[in-house]
Chains A and B, each alone.
Chain A
Amino acid sequence: GAVVSQHPSWVICKSGTSVKIECRSLDFQATTMFWYRQFPKQSLMLMATSNEGSKATYEQGVEKDKFLINHASLTLSTLTVTSAHPEDSSFYICSAPTSYDYNEQFFGPGTRLTVL
């Protein structure tokens, strides 16, 4: 199956700093990637759709200036949490469908962000 990687797997940062999380499709091209957020013992919440070569589309209630998404190539999307605060601490997961099966999404392993 297709593989999606994320880097870093975990990160700790100070309040007020920015953190970049990468999502890569390793063996396929992804024109679309999705970013989710998962709080402890809760479900995945879709944050935004990352579109290669164009602006990301954000779900209602997600601040686009807070969570910057860049999808500069067909294999890489980045999520930057700007001016992070403790309430941004969460598990961030990306996913991508392949071009030959839009119904199946492949998920990254997730990135745990802790903001002190």
Chain B
Amino acid sequence: AQRVTQPEKLLSVFKGAPVELKCNYSYSGSPELFWYVQYSRQRLQLLLRHISRESIKGFTADLNKGETSFHLKKPFAQEEDSAMYYCALSQGAQKLVFGQGTRLTINP
């Protein structure tokens, strides 16, 4: 069965420190993975997707098929990065399976 695991419910780092939000998945096919973000009092929105291989707001994520991981990283955290982050896997037909989410808090 398809599953997405985010082992950390809460993550707190200081401003300027590196950030890594972990995501592991299980999927029998060729995965499409995404990171969605939800800022306070805002709706869920796409942050980045693995097929784009792009950096958004300084965040990057590399798909590691050997480790079945798609960790989200940023070298220098900013206060505005504080939000809820969800890793998601596409099951095909655009259906998404979400991880449990990680609440990231950036301390000044």
Q: Which residues of B contact A74 (CB under 8 A)?
A: none
B43 touches A107 (CB 8 A): yes
User: Taking CB as reference atom, which chain A residue is nearest B41?
Assistant: A109
B98 touches A34 (CB 8 A): no
Please list the residues of chain B having a beta carbon within 8 angstroms of any beta carbon in chain A: 32, 34, 43-46, 49, 51, 86, 90, 93-101
B44 touches A43 (CB 8 A): no
Main secondary structure of the interface of A (DSSP, over half): strand
Contact of A93 (CB < 8 Å), options: B44, B45, B99, B101: B44
The answer for the CA separation of A12 and B90 in the assembled complex, in Å, is 33
The answer for the CA separation of A43 and B4 in the assembled complex, in Å, is 11
Number of A-B contacts (CB under 8 A): 42
Stretch at the interface among A21-29, A63-71, A96-104: A96-104
Which residues of chain A (44-86) have a CB below 8 Å from chain B? 44-46, 49
Contact of B43 (CB < 8 Å), options: A34, A45, A109: A109
The answer for the CA separation of A2 and B43 in the assembled complex, in Å, is 13
Q: Which residues of B contact A32 (CB under 8 A)?
A: 94
B94 touches A46 (CB 8 A): no
The answer for the CA separation of A56 and B32 in the assembled complex, in Å, is 24
The answer for the CA separation of A108 and B98 in the assembled complex, in Å, is 16
B94 touches A102 (CB 8 A): yes
A46 touches B96 (CB 8 A): yes
Closest 7 CB pairs of A and B: A107-B44, A43-B98, A43-B100, A44-B98, A109-B43, A107-B43, A104-B46
The answer for the CA separation of A46 and B43 in the assembled complex, in Å, is 16
The answer for the CA separation of A110 and B43 in the assembled complex, in Å, is 8
Contact of A108 (CB < 8 Å), options: B43, B49, B100: B43
A49 touches B44 (CB 8 A): no
The answer for the CA separation of A103 and B99 in the assembled complex, in Å, is 17
Q: Which residues of A contact B101 (CB under 8 A)?
A: 43
Given known contacts A103-B49, A108-B43, A97 and B94 CB-to-CB distance under 8 angstroms: yes
